[in-house]
Amino acid sequence: MTSQLPGPAGSPAAAVRLTGRTALVTGGGSGIGRACALALAEAGALVHVVDLDAESAKDTATAAGGIAHAVDLADRTALGGLPRDIDILVNCAGLQHVAPIEEFAPERFELIQQVMVTAPFLLIQRCLPHMYAQGWGRLVHISSMHGLRASAYKSAYVTAKHGLEGLSKVAALEGAPHGVTSNCVNPGYVRTPLVEGQIAAQAEAHGIAPEAVVGEVLLDRSAIKRLIEPEEVAAAVLWLCGPHTGFVTGTSLPLDGGWGAN
């Protein structure tokens, strides 16, 4: 377990203490999920790190003083080995596939729904009895601006994120009498392996430099012309688990650099 001492002055963990709480983060091996796991651990929570990649899960769990679980979220039976006594659930795991609808492989579409909608539903269902019994719980879902808007060629991802938004709202309504909140965090383009892969693919497709992809393609409608850092998303997740957000539920929190305003 990590140190229970307050985080450095100015860090998000300095304002949010989660000592005694247990969290589960999917997709915790890298990117946003890893940043969330580390932030929750710094705030004092015991973190279960779930990832498809066993080494990545172990690496994050070691850094967070938590417990690693190598799990394929598309396999319903595999979810049965995860703990139920979870106070904070962060649904972060995701994958992307870019193709026109008429060329989109149906099995790929189904896989993305399984990982990004069905698995969150099953994990919520698994954790709610414990949360209800204690009268406190936090469900935080890493959605996307694509949960609020659409982009061409991302039919499966956009569909899944919109589905996650609806699931979060229903969980918020049902959880409210029991002290359980449910919210989505909606970042724009974050500096993650998934986005780095998109940048490389777009650079090759358009015959331009990766830097140009970021400024001219991905961030075309964003007022702030930089990628979001995973730690910035994790700070928002941590805030939603803190002492002053018990009345925040059923919301979608954009971290979009002004994309939605344009």
Q: Among all residues, which ones are annotated catalytic?
A: 157
Contacts of 107 (CB under 8 A, 6+ apart): none
Using DSSP's 3-state secondary structure scheme, residue 223 falls into coil
CA dist., res. 50 & res. 123, Å (int): 12
CA dist., res. 248 & res. 241, Å (int): 10
CA dist., res. 234 & res. 33, Å (int): 8
Q: Which residue has the tokens 């989660």?
A: 18
Least Cα distance to 73 among 27, 110, 38 occurs for 27
CA dist., res. 4 & res. 250, Å (int): 30
